[in-house]
Amino acid sequence: MTVRSDVVARLTGRAVSGERPLSRALAEVTLDDGRVVVVKRSGEPGAASAEAAGLRWLAAAGSVRVPAVHGHEEGWLVIDRVPQGRPGREAAVRFGRDLAALHAAGAPAFGAPPPEGPVDAYIGTAPMRNERGTDWPRWYAEQRVLPYLRRAVDEGTVRAGEAAVVERLCERLPVLAGPAESPARLHGDLWSGNVLWADDGHVRLIDPAAHGGHRETDLAMLHLFGCPHLERVLDGYQEVAPLAAGWAGRVGVHQLFPLLVHAVLFGRGYAEQALEMARSTLAG
């Protein structure tokens, strides 16, 4: 990736002295004062502004740490680089406590975007619309599960006859959802690749799809894609904000959303996982 040095200079107030591409969309850029920042280029309209708003909203909770945002312009996002460390048990417990505090910071409604964040946002490269709702089961079905199910059916990733099992689960969400909870401030795309273990012993979160949601959704995504020392993370979380009874049995309900997003982005294998998750949840 060739970095727009003029954009980086405007956003950081420093000239660029070097760059190292990390991927087609990411680069580490050295500034003339020796600091290193990460520059991300997004091809989706509004994605950079949505990510910047999400990072700032998470930071405003004063709990989980995120890289400082220097700004965004014309699809470019500039944030601090996170010096990498190694996952550790103490850091995992600390992360769990901080994640609980982040969720407790709350949101105005289910589906509420971050302040100054767009309604039309993204999870990864998939569009994600942040329409507000007051009833979590209905909102989750209408705004997080069914849009991706319909797209997967339209694209042939899920066969038309298979969609019924997911639709049945959505109908049963008022029973399956557990006790009512207030809207939590979610990272929204909390897979292990977005959890960076820094060299100072603290976790940094990157690439949010931040919105108001159910706190168990973030935890379910950590379960789905793996997280080092996950049991210790959960120990720390429960010290601060114990989860409602039966939460472990609801993990599949909350995993349905990211699985369907992955089915849309990456194909049939994730669709099969989503369908099996729906079947097992209904059978249980």
Separation between Cα atoms, residue 82 and residue 59, nearest integer Å: 15
Sorting pLDDT into bands at 50, 70 and 90, what band is 238? very high
Identify the active-site residue in 98, 189, 207, 218: 189
DSSP state, 72? E
pLDDT value at 39 more than 90: yes
Helix, strand, coil content of the chain in percent (nearest 5): 45, 20, 35
200: alpha, beta or left? (left if phi > 0; alpha if psi -120 to 50): alpha
Specify the residue for token string 């990510």: 51
Written as six digits, the tokens of 230 are 């996950």
Sorting pLDDT into bands at 50, 70 and 90, what band is 173? very high
Average pLDDT (171-184) is 97
Domain that holds residue 94: 89-283
Specify the residue for token string 């996982």: 273
- Statement to judge: residues 147 and 247 lie in one domain: yes
pLDDT value at 1 more than 80: no
Cβ 95 vs Cβ 198: under 8 Å: no
- If one compares 206 and 284, the residue with the highest pLDDT of the two is 206
pLDDT at 185: 98
pLDDT value at 250 more than 90: yes
What percent of the chain is predicted at pLDDT more than 90?
94
How confident is the model over 53-106, as pLDDT tens digits? 999 999 999 999 999 999 999 899 999 999 999 999 999 999 999 999 999 999
- Statement to judge: residues 268 and 179 lie in one domain: yes
Cβ 75 vs Cβ 1: under 8 Å: no
Sorting pLDDT into bands at 50, 70 and 90, what band is 243? very high
Average pLDDT (162-172) is 97
- Statement to judge: residues 94 and 56 lie in one domain: no
Sorting pLDDT into bands at 50, 70 and 90, what band is 195? very high
Average pLDDT (169-186) is 97
Mean pLDDT of the chain: 96
pLDDT at 44: 86
Task: Say whether 265 sits in a helix, a strand or coil.
Answer: helix
DSSP state, 70? E
Q: At 71, which CATH number?
A: 3.30.200.20
Q: Give which of 204, 225, 183, 255 is closest to 95, Cα–Cα.
A: 204
How confident is the model over 135-148, as pLDDT tens digits? 999 999 999 999 99
Q: At 247, which CATH number?
A: 3.90.1200.10
Q: Give which of 190, 188, 1, 195 is closest to 84, Cα–Cα.
A: 195
- Statement to judge: residues 210 and 188 lie in one domain: yes
Indicate the number of domains in the chain: 2
- Statement to judge: residues 29 and 65 lie in one domain: yes
What percent of the chain is predicted at pLDDT more than 70?
100
Angle subtended by helix axes 89-104 and 230-240, to nearest 10: 40
Concerning whether 189 is annotated as a catalytic residue, the answer is yes
Query: Mean pLDDT lowest for which of 1-10, 69-78, 192-201, 218-227?
Result: 1-10
Cβ 124 vs Cβ 266: under 8 Å: no
